[in-house]
Amino acid sequence: MELAGRTHARFSARRRLSFRKAPAAAMIHPRQIWHLAFACAVLAAGSAAAEAEIFHLQGQGQVRGVLLNPDQSPRTSYVVKTASGGQVTLSAEQVQRVEQQQPAEIKYDRFRADIPDTVKGQWIAAEWCRANRLSKHRDRHLQRIIELDPDHADARRALGYSQVGGRWATQEQVMLESGYVRSKYAPGKWVLPQEEELLERRDKTKKARLEWRAKLKRWDGWLSGDKAPQAVAAIEAITDPYAVPALENLLDESQRRDVRLLYVGALSRINVPAALDVLVEASLFDKDADIRAASLDELVAHDYKIATVNYIRALKHKDNEIVNRAGAALGRMGDSSAIGPLIDALVTTHTFKVGAGSPGQTAATFGTGANSGQFNFGGGGPKSVKRTLENRAVLDSLVSLTDGVSFNYDTKAWKYWYVARRKPSTLDARRDASP
């Protein structure tokens, strides 16, 4: 009995010793086993992935899987093996389009049903999606993480959050709270609502101008064929200011005088500053005298006051011919505010390039007054010479605007007269202002 008792005691001690040798770390929580198994499944997923497609259905919805009848012709149905192992048959009428699925998508479909709904499980899936460039799936897992753990810093940052005033916020939230909007017309930019309205107007203007360019180019082509009457009628009906840039281009580019006169008329009928400014430029610089005259006629008919400002500025142009055109136009406009500038432009000095530079060639040079009309014999390259010119068109306009007063080209006499003419009104104004 004593021996048996000692034997039982030794056996019990060994049992206690064996249990004590098992470390606590060896006891793995079931959830950890699940995460480990899932991670292994993710790594092994799709190592032998088959080709798969996404079948987009009419209306909405989609089916993902492997097409089992790829050689059917004509196509009447789609027999699809899904990632879960099931089989679905779709009629051809049900399917809107078929999209080839990427290998990473196929792998993802193999394990997504097994993803644990825990922070760690969702994070493993999100990281795998990041490595395989499945951004939409990654964002979905990151969103689930912050639902489970609102303060998960890595998931927050991956979704574009940052700490603002002690709270997590995205750039979009911060900008919206600051009164900004995401621009539809400047991709990637945040702008104030007023800026967005301006960008919207610019976009509308750009699109409208492009539409008019296409229309007018088509009608311009018709003017040389059987559709010319329709084209003329369409051009004569234009009243939209957005058509101005296209009309300006065609006025510059067209070689036919009758067509160009048609565009002058269209610009006049639109009758906005942008259109009439084109006619001001044409009246000064167009090479065709008929186009210049027609443009000026339209400006006079509209009594376009801004044209006077542009013509006064052109009196200082380096080209003497432009000076005289501006002078003549000012006479037609009939604005007495041009009298002073016209007096200053009665006689102007201009620089000319003369001489071709060939040996033995005669090159004309011009001096001032009685010395003008000299000649320079010999080469030496083009020379710059100055010539003082009397501007007949300027004088004619001065006489017209002053009801027949004329001092010819005597600038000083004109200025004395002009000052004397203005003094009485000044004195009368002072007299009226006295008590």
Q: Is the pLDDT confidence value at 113 over 50?
A: yes
**Max Cα–Cα distance, the chain, nearest Å:** 158
The backbone region for 73, taken as left when phi is positive above 0, alpha when psi lies in -120 to 50, beta otherwise, is: beta
If you average pLDDT over every residue of the chain, what do you get?
Answer: 84
- Please tell me the predicted confidence (pLDDT) of residue 356: 58
Confidence of residue 216 (pLDDT cuts 50, 70, 90): very high
Instruction: For residues 120 and 250, give the distance between their C-alpha atoms in angstroms, rounded to a whole number.
Output: 68
Beta-carbon count within 10 A of 412 CB: 9
Q: Please check whether residue 301 is in contact with residue 267, taking contact to mean a CB–CB distance below 8 angstroms.
A: no
Residue 346 tokens read as 């009665």
Under DSSP, is residue 313 helix (H, G, I), strand (E, B) or coil?
A: helix
Residue 313 tokens read as 């500025």
Residues 267-281 pLDDT 10s: 999 999 999 999 999
Q: Is the pLDDT confidence value at 46 over 60?
A: no
208 or 172, which is more confident? 208
Residues 56-83 pLDDT 10s: 999 888 898 889 999 999 999 999 998 7
- Please tell me the predicted confidence (pLDDT) of residue 325: 98
- Please tell me the predicted confidence (pLDDT) of residue 127: 96
Sequence length of the chain is: 435
Distances (CA, A) of 359 to 51, 233, 362, 366, 383: 83, 59, 9, 20, 14
Confidence of residue 361 (pLDDT cuts 50, 70, 90): very low
Confidence of residue 430 (pLDDT cuts 50, 70, 90): low
Tokens 């007096």 map to which residue? 343
Structural domains in the chain plus CATH codes: 52-100 (2.30.30.520), 187-302 (no CATH)
Under DSSP, is residue 362 helix (H, G, I), strand (E, B) or coil?
A: strand
- Please tell me the predicted confidence (pLDDT) of residue 40: 55
